[in-house]
Amino acid sequence: MTPTGKFIRIVDNTMRDGSHAVKHQFTIEDVTAIASALDDAGVPAIEISHGDGLAGHSFQYGFARETDEAKITAVKKAAKKAKVSVLLLPGIGTRQNLQKAVECGAQIVRIATHCTEADISEQHIKMSKEMGLEVFALLMMSHMEEPPKLLEQAKLFESYGADAVYLMDSAGALIPDMVHARVSTLKNGLKIEVGFHAHNNLGLGIGNTLAAVDEGATIVDACVCGLGGGAGNAQEEVLVAALDRAGYQTGIDLYKIMNVAEEIVTPRMPRPQIIDKAALALGYSGVYSSFLLHTYRAAERFKVPPLDILLELGRLRTVGGQEDLIVDVAYKLANKKS
């Protein structure tokens, strides 16, 4: 395939998915500095909210340092050109949360469900359209179903009025052949745009994203420095360079986004995004990437290896929203050990 300058829209997730990596402790100063630099680099859309979406601030998902409203307001003020995006998971975020986000400046909402539960999103998509938002509908954990089933779910999103459907590799468990098959099936079966969200637990964040755009995905997610859940996401500065080399256009200044990585984001990272054995186990076992830090906490509390917890979570086919099972699994493993 010859791209011939085809435009790929990148939605920056550094402060949303990256929220997991910093334990949701971004300050308003952090948010302002990152958003301003991303906007100056030409990033077209910046996502901001708790890592688990609007209203994720909780004992279950982790308490954030700042409110969603304060962070959205800060990004909107700092970003002169980029659109402001928020994430909403039905069952966590509500109409009231979304309305407040809109009042603070949100222009895009991304509504995410498990890859077999698109039907729970109908009222959320319709109310978002009524609010005048651009709506992306996200199928999480898309490695868990085959392409025909994913298309069936994606068509529900389309029928509810979504502007685009995303495949989310939430566990970083997909390999390029699986991405090719899934994205091409959606591209051929839908009339709306197709997007892709990669995690790097198998080291394939960039490769999988390139596979997605080669099959017709026109919107993709990335994080500066790869900052995100698990081993992180597709690394934005690398993705911009790779897409440029492949003949695609992003509108993002490569040199400026590299500077954002080294001068703005790296100093704010608690640790580098690496593929250690626990992160690798996420991808290999197909476990939700944001489970990683929760698993480390449970492993320390119950004195069991993180790897054992992750492998058991994979065997149980856990999905996003089941964070409480991490403690349950760790407790049972500790008792079995004793």
CATH number, position 84: 3.20.20.70
pLDDT at 3: 65
Is residue 283 a part of any domain in this protein?
A: no
Span 4-20, mean pLDDT? Answer: 93
pLDDT-derived band at 222 (thresholds 50, 70, 90) equals very high
3-state secondary structure of 47: strand
pLDDT at 1: 46
Span 241-254, mean pLDDT? Answer: 98
* 148 and 96, same domain (yes or no): yes
* 311 and 238, same domain (yes or no): no
> Which of 268, 299, 315 is the C-terminal boundary of a domain?
268
Q: Say whether 143 is catalytic.
A: no
Buried-state track 93-112, b at ≥16 Cβ within 10 A, e below 16: beeebbebbbebbbbbbbbb
pLDDT at 316: 86
Span 32-51, mean pLDDT? Answer: 97
The CATH number of the domain holding residue 333 is 1.10.8.60
Tokens of 142: 């898309």
Is residue 278 a part of any domain in this protein?
A: no
* 233 and 120, same domain (yes or no): yes
* 26 and 79, same domain (yes or no): yes
Q: Sign of the CA dihedral 248, 250, 251, 257?
A: negative
Is residue 274 a part of any domain in this protein?
A: no
Query: Does 2 have pLDDT greater than 60?
Result: no
Is residue 164 a part of any domain in this protein?
A: yes
Span 18-28, mean pLDDT? Answer: 94
Is residue 26 a part of any domain in this protein?
A: yes
Is residue 97 a part of any domain in this protein?
A: yes
* 225 and 327, same domain (yes or no): no
Span 264-292, mean pLDDT? Answer: 91
Query: Does 239 have pLDDT greater than 80?
Result: yes
Span 82-100, mean pLDDT? Answer: 95
Tokens of 105: 């400046």
Taking only the tens place, the pLDDT of each residue in 98-148 is 999 999 999 999 999 999 999 999 999 999 999 999 999 999 999 999 999
The range of the structural domain enclosing residue 47 comes to 9-268
pLDDT at 307: 87
* 176 and 324, same domain (yes or no): no
Is residue 52 a part of any domain in this protein?
A: yes
* 323 and 188, same domain (yes or no): no
The Cα 301–Cα 327 span in angstroms is 9
Span 229-235, mean pLDDT? Answer: 95
* 85 and 187, same domain (yes or no): yes
Chain centroid to Cα 171, Å, comes to: 10
* 308 and 256, same domain (yes or no): no
Is residue 39 a part of any domain in this protein?
A: yes
Supply the DSSP string of 102-151, one letter for each residue.
HHHT--EEEEEEETT-GGGGHHHHHHHHHTT-EEEEEEESGGGS-HHHHH
* 172 and 67, same domain (yes or no): yes
**H or E, element range at 279:** helix 277-285
* 247 and 320, same domain (yes or no): no
Q: What's the whole-number average pLDDT of the chain?
A: 94
pLDDT at 289: 80
CB 296 within 8 A of CB 323: no
Look at the chain and report how many structural domains it folds into: 2
* 214 and 318, same domain (yes or no): no
Worst-scoring range by mean pLDDT, 28-32, 34-38, 42-46, 280-284?
A: 280-284
> Which of 211, 237, 268 is the C-terminal boundary of a domain?
268
pLDDT-derived band at 59 (thresholds 50, 70, 90) equals low
The proportion of the chain whose per-residue pLDDT surpasses 90, expressed as a percent, equals: 79
